[in-house]
Structures are given as structure tokens and as C-alpha cells.
Structure 1
Amino acid sequence: MTLVLFIGRRLAGVLTTLLVTSILIYAALALAPGDPAAALAGGTVPDPARLAAIRAEYHLDDPFWTQYWHWLSGLLHGDLGTSLVYRSDVADLLAGRTVNTLFLVVYAGVLIVVLGIGLGVLAGLRGGRTGTGVTIATTVAMGVPTFALAIVLIWVFATQLSWLPIYGSGDTFPDKLRHLTLPAIALSFSYLAYVARITRQAVAGELRSEHVDTALSRGLPRRVVVRHHVLRNAMGPILTVSGTVVASLVAGTAVAEAAFGVNGLGSLLIQSAQRQDLAVVQILSMLMVGVFVVVNTCVDLANVALDPRIARGDRSG
């Protein structure tokens, strides 16, 4: 019953967060300068009758809460609105770009989880020069901006070595792997370093704990102690940080996609914000917040599966 209540509270928190976020996003963009009706009408001097028809069609003269309700109810029924710039449904714009962004995020997420956790565990278990080397390397890597690393990757692997393409997203699966390798490395680099550092601290902390010393003093093999005591207990903070980082990748794709010419959601967000395409910005902003909230909720539930005491609010003993 406690677990059911915990899940219920988390789901209620997700819905509340998304509702409040939708209000804030809609209000912020409604206050943005410019006239959406004039953008939809086109032309330098739109016809007043045409402007009035557009305002009536899109409820632009309605009170704020009426406009918001029309937008939210349409969103709940699958109507994402109409792009002011592209003059097409927002859903159609997203359809062709979602796959590229999803592929990039998954690719970068795999690099972060596999390499970040792997390096952190290695450094935490071995310590000494290995631990110091990983700490120094991750400290430097965490300070490298995505756009700066993108320039270096393009110069080395595309211009000098001609190993990988620097523009586009590819068509087939192998082609996408080649095209999105450099963007995935640029996107994941600093996040990977952060996960590696947190993992090292968590593993090293567990190695120094009293229960690990007790298990070793009883003659248990080190590999058994590491697997059942060190890694299992360290997995909580590692999973939390990894989940938060992977959830943040969706928002971080904008810089990587722009640098490498990837036709994805991040680059679309930048273009739409520059052109004041409010309908597209609203949906993409909601999508990014929604992914972040949902992924973090899944991480919370995974932590409960690892340690059911969290659902009871009891981490003692």
C-alpha cells in the first residue's frame, strides 16, 4: 500500500508540474512582442478583414484563460497548433525531426551511461593513479563547452582525417551512426565526465564503509563484496545522476544539432525562437519539460525498486 501511495504521489506531482509549466510557457510566449495574426496573414500590410478573420479563427482576441483553454484542450486532443512560419501543422514539423533527435539522445545517453559509469567504477575501485587520472580528466572535460568541442571534432575527424561526415543526419541506421557520432560525442562529453566523477565518489565512499570492511574481514571474496555491497549500495546516487543527465540531453541537443547541421528538434527550436514561431516554441518547450519530468520520475521509481525503504521515507538500517 505504501508503494501505491508513493507512485500515486509521484504521478500527481508529474501532472501538477506539467500543468503549471504549460501555464507559464503559454503566458510567457503570449507576452512576447509581435502580432501572430499579422504573421499568419502574410504581406507587409495585411488586409484588416483578413486579420479579423484570423483573430476569430485562432481566438486571439479572447481573454488569456480562454485562449489557454483552447490551446490546452487542443493539445490534449492531439492538435499541436499551426506553425506561423511554415504554415503547416506543428505535428507534421515534429514528425520528420523527432527520429533524428531521439537517435542522437539515445546515442549520447549510451555513451554517458557506459563510459561514464565504467570509468567511474574503475577509478573508484582501483584508486591511486587511476583515480587521480580520472578525476583530473573529468574536471577538465566538465569545463569544455559543447560548441567548442564540436569545432575541435570537426577539424580533427572530418577536416584532417576525413573519417566522419560533419553535416546532416543520414538515412539508414549505419548511415545515422556515422553522421551522428560526432554530435553524440560533443553532446555527451561534459555530461559523461560528470557521471564518471559522481560514480567514482559513490564507489570510493562505499569501499570505505564499515559494512564492506566487515564483509571482507569475514573472508568473502572481494569480487562478491564489490558486486553485492559496493556497487549495489552505490547504484542509488549513480542512477539518480545518470537519469537526470540523460533527461537533460533533450534540451542540450540544440547546440550540437546546430553545429553539425542535424535536422532535429533542437535546431528547430532555435529557428522557431529566432522567427517568433510561438506555436512551435510552445510545443517544443512543453516536450522538453515533459521528458525531463517523466524520466526523473522513472528514476525515482527505479530507486524504490532498488531500495523499498525510500517509499516509506526510511533509509536507516
Structure 2
Amino acid sequence: MTYVLKRVGALAVVLLVSSFIVFAGMYLAPGSPEQFLVQGRTVSPEVLASIRVQYGLDDPFLLRYWNWLVGVVQGDFGRSLVTQQDVAALVGSRIPTTFWLVAYSAILIVVLGIGLGVLAATRTGVFEKVVVLGSNLGFAVPSFFAALILMSVFGSGLGWFPVSGAGDGFADRIWHLTLPAVALSFPAIAVVARITRTAVREEQGSEHVEMATARGVPGRLVLWRHTIRNSMLPVTTAVGTNIAGLLAAAFVIEYAFTLDGIGSLLVGSVQRKDFAVVQAIALIMVLAFGLINLIVDLLYAVIDPRVRLSKGAQAR
């Protein structure tokens, strides 16, 4: 429990520091909210002053940050400068699409990446060469190019999957998001498969695996209990890093497949200098990164309790 509380506390500190950087970064960027609102028109100083008063732009920076942070804690991210909508409602309506896309991609990474890596490590011959070749291809093909190929072949060509929209309902959403999820996860699957294959191969030659085999332990038990489990630490790191990276790469796929996720909303908000929306999405992405890293740390302790014990010893 102490280990979990320490990790949660570290996440809270990261979020606090990140929120300050996000808030400060937007106001250090070229342009200002009042310049955007007047759209280049010539207005009187009185109008500009009233805009600054309305949005609290004349307050000291730290006071503006504090007021914004208090609002964020209460779920109030302000209002969009473009649409005047509540930012929390605007972003909240886009989160489900991105969540489904990232979750679908994460499942593909775990199942295909780890599965293919384990099979490639335990089976030599043609299958291993195909996995290695596929992983090399995954390293070389960017997600956006993979999206174009998938849309051309399986969407426009064969007509098996739709190439736009997120769908309604569970089955329809899965059908619509299959091509985007495959395109988004393809490079990560290649990385995880390669790392899994290497980790399992190294573990197969370890002393405790050889001892278990020499004692007559059944091969399947040696594989699952001694080889695969003990090789999961580097694999877990690779999986966690690549799943976290999906959040940053999702906006490219959302743009290609015209999905109404937070990635496409972020791109449009940056172009229109919609500060409140950009700040909210940036903070949500930092929170998601932090939660994924927290889950990875907790999985370390589950896979190998020595990780937790060693960190506890260092703390003492």
C-alpha cells in the first residue's frame, strides 16, 4: 500500500508541475486571446480593455493560474474562445472516440505484439522469419502511411471496412475503428514483438530455466512460469511506452479517418488559438500518460515483487 501511495503522490506532483507548464506555455505562445477575438479588426482601446477584464487577462499571472487550477480541480476548464461552449462538455463529447480507438489499439498491441513475439521466440523457421520481417516493416512504415494503404485496400478496394466515422453502438464502433486501430498500433506491434522475442530468447538461456528443465519440470510449465513471466519486465515497459505514445499519434489517424476525437479537436484548436481547449486537452493527455506509467509501475511489482522490495530498501 505504501508503494502505491508513493506512486500516486508522485503522479499528483507531476500533474501539478505539468499544469503550470501547460498554462504558462499557452500564454508564452505568439498571439493573445484578445487579438484572436477581434479577428484582426481595428477596435478601440476600451473594447480591448473590456475583453481583458472579461477573461481576467489583467490579473497577475500566478492569480490567473490559481483561478484556472481551482476551476480544473472542480471540473471547470473555462469556455471555448471560438464556440463559447463549455470546454469540459466540448472535450467530453470527443473523449469516447479517442478512448475506443486507443483501447482497441492497446488490445492489438498486447495480443499481437506479445503473442507474435513469444511464438517467434519459441518456434524457429519460417514463422520466426515472417515475424522478424513484419517487425522490420512495422519500424519502417509510419502510421499515416499504413492508414492510407489500409483505406485503399480494405476500405475503397475490398469494401470490408468503412473509412470514415466512429460508428454507433459496440459492434458498429468496432467495425468502424478496426482500420484506424490497426494503422495506429502497427508500428507498436512491431516494436513489442521484437522486444518480446529478444526477452524470451534471453530468458530461455538463463540458469534457472536450464535448472528447471534438468529437474524434469514439464516444458509448458517451464515456458509459462519461468521463461515468459520472468521476461515480462522489459516487455511491460515497451507495452506501456507504446500505449502511452498512442495518445500522441492518435490525432494523425483521427485526421486520416475523419474521426471526431480529441486529437482532431486539438489540431483545430491550435490552429484557431483556442487556448482553453488546448490547455484542457494537454492536461488530459498528461493525466493519461501518468496513469499509464502508474499502471506499468504497479505491474512491475506484480510480475516481480523484488522490484517493490528494492525500491523500499532504497527509500530506507
Normalising TM by the smaller chain, what interval? over 0.9
Q: Does 1:255 align with 2:255?
A: no
* Contact preservation (8 Å) 1:158, 1:166: yes
CA–CA distance in 2 between the matches of 1:174 and 1:308?
39
155, 159, 162: which is aligned to 2:159? 162
Query: Where has structure 1 moved over 6 Å in runs of 4 or more?
Result: none
Aligned residue among 96, 108, 119 for 1:122 = 119
Structure 2 Cα separation of the partners of residues 285 and 46 of structure 1: 32
CA drift at 1:42: 5.9
Q: Aligned equivalents of 2:273 and 2:146: distance in 1?
A: 29
- State the Cα distance separating 1:210 from its structure 2 match: 1.0
Q: Answer whether contact 1:41 1:50 (CA < 8 A) is retained.
A: no
TM-score (norm 1): 0.93
Match of 1:26 in 2: 23
Name the aligned partner's letter for residue 184 of structure 1: A
What is the match of residue 283 of structure 1?
Answer: 280
Point out where structure 1 has 5 or more consecutive residues left out of the alignment: none
TM-score, structure 2 as length reference: 0.93
Deviations 1:55-76 (A, max 9, x none): 1232101222111111111111
Q: Distance in 1 between matches of 2:115 and 2:20?
A: 41
256-265 or 119-128, which moves further after superposition? 119-128
Partners of 1:87 and 1:208 lie apart in 2 by 62
Q: How far off is 1:192 after superposition? A: 0.8
Q: Distance in 1 between matches of 2:311 and 2:227?
A: 20
5+ long unaligned stretches in structure 2: none
- Measured after TM superposition, the shift of residue 254 of structure 1 is 0.3
SS in 2 for 1:140: helix
Per-residue deviation, 1:264: 0.5
Q: Deviations over 1:291-315 (max 9, x none)?
A: 0111111110121122221122179
Q: Residue 93 of structure 2: SS of its match in structure 1?
A: helix
* Contact 1:107 1:184 survives alignment (8 Å): yes
- Is contact 2:36-2:273 (8 Å) kept? no
In the superposition, relative to structure 1, how do residues 146 and 21 fare at CA in structure 2: closer, same or farther (>3 Å)? Answer: same
1:37 and 1:51 in contact (8 A); partners too: yes
Shift of 1:46: 4.1
What code does the residue aligned with 2:226 have? H
Kindly indicate whether residue 220 of structure 2 is the aligned counterpart of residue 223 of structure 1: yes
- Bigger shift: 47-56 or 87-96? 47-56
Whichever residue aligns with residue 143 of structure 2, its letter is T
SS state at 2:290 partner: helix
Aligned position for 2:141: 144
| Structure 1 counterpart SS, 2:191 | helix
**Structural RMSD (CA):** 1.8
Task: Give the Cα separation in 2 of the matches to 1:277 and 1:314.
Answer: 43
1:236 shift after superposition:
1.9
Match of 1:85 among 79, 82, 86: 82
Secondary structure, in 3 states, of the residue corresponding to 2:249?
Answer: helix
Alignment of 1:1-317 (within 5 A): 4=2, 6-40=3-37, 44-46=41-43, 48-313=45-310
Which piece of structure 1 moves more, 18-27 or 181-190? 18-27
Q: Is the 8 A contact 1:153 1:182 kept in 2?
A: yes
1:140 Cα offset (Å): 1.7
Note the alpha carbon deviations across 1:210-247, whole angstroms, 9 max, x for none: 11111111111100111110111112222222122112
Cα offset, 1:270, TM superposition: 0.8
> Could you tell me which amino acid in structure 2 is paired with residue 78 of structure 1?
G
Query: Which deviations, in whole Å up to 9, do the C-alpha atoms of 1:126-181 show, x marking residues without a partner?
Result: 23443333122202212211111111111111221111111111122222112111
The separation in 1 between residues aligned to 2:311 and 2:132, in whole angstroms, is 33
Q: Within 2, Cα distance between the matches of 1:31 and 1:266? A: 22
CA distance in 2, matches of 1:131, 1:34: 54
**Cα distance in 2 between the residues matched to 1:314 and 1:252:** 32
